[in-house]
Amino acid sequence: MRPITTGRPLGPAALRHTPAALLALAGLLVLGLLAPRAEAVPTRPTPTPPAATAWTGTWATAPTTVPAGDTTVFEDQTIRQVVHASVGGGAVRVRLTNEFGTTPLVIGEARIALRDTRAAGARTLRDTDRPLTFGGRPSTTIPAGAPALSDPVTLRVPAGADLVISLYLPHHTPGSTTHAFAFQHNYVADGNVTARQDIEATRTLDRWYFLSTVSVRTGPDAAAAPAPDRGAAVIALGDSITDGGNTTVNANHRWPDLLAERLRGSPRTAGIGVLNQGISGNRLLHDPNPPAGHPAEAYAAYFGHSALRRFDRDVAAQPGARYVVVLLGVNDLGHPGTVAPESERVTAEEIIAGHRQLIARAHERGLRVYGGTILPFAGDSLGFSSPQNEAARQQVNTWIRTSGEYDGVIDFDAALRDPGQPDRLDPRYDSGDGLHPNDAGARAMAQAVPLTLFQ
């Protein structure tokens, strides 16, 4: 696999055309988090009622580091990035991150605006452009390993709108903190063009850089749709299936986006945000660990820290976090022997123990947590399928469905499996690799989530 250069970061499309394509896509696995049947457990913690006016996450992504071969650099350039708001509000703030940087990150200027949906790309809507400030200053320097939260800015954000966030990077800036599989085009232009409606892009990216969370202020003064649980957010914790692997780029057809669309359609849930914390290739129990000399050394770093390691950052710390949907485990089964050492092979009991830890930590924070069953993958083209892995998948799914340890169950497996061959994806929902759902499959996953879980 060719190393990533400053010319154009490597994305899913490129991976599919390399000799290691199948292994790379194997890393893009995600687990569904919700199931059609869900029964609340009375002994579980009751989420704290939201304040009359509260900050709620409307969009989020989970940052990762980059492999040694990724030499992406920005200098005297503007990155213009598009994000999709799940819930609306009357004010907005942005959380930036230099988590994996080794030097301070200098943001010369940052701005936010609504995207003009009448035009392709990232043209902003006139009269919606707002400067982002940090402690009242138009620029900020973020220490290595740290985040930075912008000041609130008044901007009426409609639910389901696209937001454009422009960051000017005046100095030599390695692209060390990223979300590598955005399934969204973003753009780079020379100079400081953060305030322009249109920019002349010199590069198109399929990643997000230095972005973590966008939150909106909801409440009576924020023009949010009335809802009993205004100020709450659902966190979707998963892998590539949650991240949007193999869904249409720029279409917001990831299943969490489609769940947010459903929530907006009901008066009882219209004020609830959905935050996608899926990472392609992510595992529940292990960090990336490609064998020495394996092609996965060129991309495994994008798989991110294990869910157990990143839970506090990506779930507990999110603004308005009240519900968690967990869809994890398929990469724990499929990576050992493909893009991870055989020595990291895990049992169903070990995966269940990892889920129990997530449940305990969610309950410690007063969150309600729902378990999603692992989708079928027999006959996949990524090397995951085996009798051993299928037996473990069935054992984990049985525990999720019947143990009563999760506050509710979302049976993604039942919603997407082939009725005639239940160890395989239904052909209607298969993106082509036997593991990742297509756009129709993502919609079926969103439809499998009972909205009563969030009422």
pLDDT in tens, 411-439: 999 999 999 999 999 999 999 999 999 99
Task: 332-337: list long-range contacts, CB under 8 Å, 24+ apart.
Answer: 332/283, 332/284, 332/285, 332/286, 333/374, 333/384, 333/389, 333/392, 333/393, 334/26, 334/29, 334/377, 334/382, 334/383, 334/384, 334/389, 335/26, 335/27, 335/281, 335/283, 335/286, 337/383
**Residue 189 and residue 295 in one domain:** no
For residue 8, what pLDDT is reported? 36
- Give the Cα separation of 373 and 237 in Å (integer): 13
Query: Residue type for 356, please?
Result: R
Number of domains observed in the structure of the chain: 2
Residues near 42 by beta carbon (within 8 Å), at least 6 away in sequence: none
CATH number of the domain within which 240 lies: 3.40.50.1110
**Residue 154 and residue 225 in one domain:** no
Of the three residues 196, 211, 226, the one that is the final residue of a domain is 211
Asked whether the whole model's pTM tops 0.95, one would answer no
- Give the Cα separation of 431 and 425 in Å (integer): 10
Element (H, E) at 110: strand 109-114
Q: By the 8 A CB rule, do 206 and 194 touch?
A: no
Cα separation values, 306 from 238, 264, 283, 303, 344, Å: 10, 31, 5, 8, 13
Can you tell me whether residue 420 is helix, strand or coil?
A: coil
Give the range of the structural domain holding residue 171, as residue numbers without chain letter: 64-211
**Residue 246 and residue 325 in one domain:** yes
Backbone torsions φ then ψ of 344, nearest 5 degrees: -95, 10
154 forms beta bridges with 91
Give the mean pLDDT per block of 10 residues along the chain (455 residues). Answer: 36 38 38 38 49 83 98 98 98 98 98 96 96 98 98 98 98 98 98 98 98 88 46 96 98 98 96 97 98 97 98 98 98 98 98 98 98 98 98 98 98 98 98 98 98 94
For residue 247, what pLDDT is reported? 98
- Give the Cα separation of 164 and 208 in Å (integer): 12
| DSSP one-letter string for 273-292 | EEEEEE-TT--SS----PPT
For residue 230, what pLDDT is reported? 65
Of the three residues 194, 211, 228, the one that is the final residue of a domain is 211
**Residue 303 and residue 445 in one domain:** yes
